[in-house]
Amino acid sequence: MFGMPGGWEWLVILIVALLIFGKRLPEVMRSVGKGIVEFKKGLKGVEDEAEKASETKKLEPGPSKKEG
C-alpha cells in the first residue's frame, strides 16, 4: 500500500520540515541521529547477549542417558 517516498515526496517532506522547525532543524536532526545511534548500540548489545546465551547453552552438557 505505502512504500518508501520517492524524489518529490522527499522534497515535500523537506519543505514541511523547514517550515515547522526552521532554524532548529539542524539541532533536531542531530538529536534524531544520536537517537538512532543509541538505538543501534542497544540492539547490538541485545544481539551479543543472545549470541552468548546460545553459545553457553550449546557448551553446557545435557543430561546423560545411560543405556542398559
How do residues 12-64 score in pLDDT, each as one tens digit? Answer: 988 888 888 888 878 888 999 999 999 999 999 888 888 888 887 776 665 66
At 62 the pLDDT is: 59
- If one counts every other C-beta atom within 10 angstroms of the C-beta of residue 36, the result is 10
| Stronger pLDDT, 62 or 68, i.e. the higher one | 62
Can you give the residue ranges of every domain in the chain? 18-54
47 vs 3, which has greater pLDDT? 47
At residue 61, the pLDDT reads 65
Confidence category of residue 5, pLDDT binned at 50, 70, 90: confident
Show the CA angle centred on residue 59, arms to residues 49 and 46, nearest 5°.
5
